[in-house]
Structure formats: C-alpha cells, structure tokens
Structure 1
Amino acid sequence: MGIRVVEVRPGFARAELPPEPNTNHFGVTYAGSLFSVAEMLGGLLALATFDLDGELAGFVPLVKESTIRFRRPALGVVRAEASLSDDEVARVRESALAVGKGEFVLEATLTDAGGEVVASTTGTYQVRRLG
C-alpha cells in the first residue's frame, strides 16, 4: 500500500496514500485502500494522544465500527486526516481511567491531489485495558 504517515501529534493524524500500487483496473484508487488509510488514523491518533506507556499503560486502541462514504473517484496521491478536540481527548481519558475503556468517534476526510473530497469515514474507536 505504501501509506506514508505525514503528521501525527496529540489530537491529530494525517497520512498519504500513493497511487501505486493502489490503482484498480479502472485507473482509480482501490476502495479498500481508501478505507485502510482512513481506518489506521484512529490507531495513530490514539498512540500520539493518550499516554499508553504511562498513565494508560496496558491500554490499547481498537476499532469497533467504521463506515465509509465514497464521494468521487480518487486519482493521484490521497491525503487522509482526522482530529479530536481537547475536550474529547479529556473525556476519553477520564472514561478510560474510571471504567477501563474510553470510546470516541473519529471522522476522517480523504482528499485527492487537487484538494477535492473523495471519501469520508466515521469510526468508533476505544482505548481500553486488555486483560
């Protein structure tokens, strides 16, 4: 897939998907490749946002559900990005500490090289204690 992580910081993640090897027989980006780059943002964002090596040691990010809406064929490099507000981060953290899991909904936008929206996703994720 060749996904390139462009920027990850607390509350934000951005990645890019190159056209090759992700182009289908119609000459546009595979639907599954678009879904994959969007879904992985939830894990990247959680790893950068929540203190999984300290305060939330033993917690992992998991995806519970994800949907995608394809808006137009994707040509060229596709950029995917998603963010969580500081208030939402605080709420998830507090829930994780209180009950062993914190759930959040993450919306991602995928744009083509021209800045046109080609797809959008909504995913439900958890940061939860394993074991």
Structure 2
Amino acid sequence: MRHDPEWLRRLLNLYPPYLGAGVRVRYIAPDFRRVTVEMPLRWYNRNYVGTHFGGSLYSMVDLFYMLMLIHILGPEYVVWDQAAEIVFRRPGRGPVRAVFTLTDAQIEAIRRETASGRPYRPRFTVQITDPAGNVVAEVVKVLYVRRREVTDQSCGTY
C-alpha cells in the first residue's frame, strides 16, 4: 500500500464513483489526520427537485474515516466500515464540503481499546456544509477496528 497522501488524493479523484458524482478530494494531510472533500451541484448529481442527490452526499463521506485510520494505524490493525447514519438537515443547493479530522485523543483511545485484541467500534461524525457554513447533512460512521492477530510463521496459522 502506498502511503503518499498526494498520490492517494489524485487516485481518489479518478475513482469512477467520485468522478460520476463530481466529488473532489481537495486535501489529505501528510499524517492522514485531516481530509477535505468537496462536491459542486451539477446536472448529473441533482435529484428530482434540483438539490443534491442524497446518495451523492453520502458517497462523498463514505470511506474517509476508514481510509485515514488504515494509514494512521498501519498494517497491525484491521479497519472496516460497519454502519452509518445520515440525517439531511437542509437542501444542498450549491457546492458542499466535508472536513474529516482525527485527534491524538481519538487515535490513542482506539489503540487503548484494541490493545487486548478485542474489536472496538468507534463512532465519528462529519458534517456536510454549504459555503455559508450551514449544515446540509450530518453523517455518523461506526467503524470496526481491531489489532491483527500475530502470525505464527512456523505453522502458518493465526
């Protein structure tokens, strides 16, 4: 897995579902603790009433907390998306943005909670906002995180 945030940003901007929805990854921090994603309102991501299609709003925030933790925690951890909830607060009538951040405290809590080998299911909330800062939608993501089991090289089992 390549750990260059700029390379990953460019790759994600070529990802077909993001191209189709108009999603643009604008920034990935060198330490993967902050990501900024934007999406303009275009004819191909509007719904029947002319506002952002809810599926496009959700897709713009779907993978980022998982992706950030995969890079921060490294190969010693299993990280999966497990559940999500989206609440639409107001119609998206123009460009929208989501900013993902992970703090030292959140990362330390994950390491502490998974130290025994048991899975941990942290919850993260991200807001999708318009240019005025109004919340268009709020998404709660639940991830599944656990330390990988140590491989016994002598017998090939976990």
Question: TM (normalized to structure 2)?
Answer: 0.68
Mapped contact 1:11–1:89 kept (Cα < 8 A): no
**Aligned twin of 1:8:** 28
* Structure 1 residues 123 and 95: alpha-carbon distance in aligned structure 2, compared to 1, 3 A threshold: same
Say which structure is richer in strand.
Answer: 1
Mapped contact 2:63–2:81 kept (Cα < 8 A): no
- Match among 36, 47, 54 for residue 70 of structure 2: 47
- Tell me how far 1:18 sits from its aligned partner: 2.6
After TM superposition, the structure 1 = structure 2 runs for residues 1-131 of structure 1, keeping only pairs within 5 Å, are 1-9=21-29, 10-20=32-42, 21-52=44-75, 56=76, 59-99=77-117, 101-128=119-146, 129=148
CA deviations over 1:59-115 (Å, ceiling 9, x no partner): 342111111111100022210122222111012124344316443211101011332
CA RMSD of aligned residues (A): 2.2
**2:45 counterpart SS class:** coil
* Structure 1 residues 17 and 35: alpha-carbon distance in aligned structure 2, compared to 1, 3 A threshold: same
Gaps of 5+ in 1: none
Structure 1 CA distance for aligned equivalents of residues 63 and 39 of structure 2: 12
**1:114 counterpart SS class:** coil
- Tell me how far 1:42 sits from its aligned partner: 1.6
**1:45 counterpart SS class:** helix
Structure 1 CA distance for aligned equivalents of residues 38 and 79 of structure 2: 21
Deviates most, 26-35 or 78-87: 78-87
Question: TM (normalized to structure 1)?
Answer: 0.80
Q: Which has the larger radius of gyration?
A: 2
Deviates most, 31-40 or 10-19: 10-19
Deviates most, 110-119 or 97-106: 97-106
Gaps of 5+ in 2: 1-20, 150-157
Structure 2 CA distance for aligned equivalents of residues 60 and 79 of structure 1: 28
Aligned residues: 126
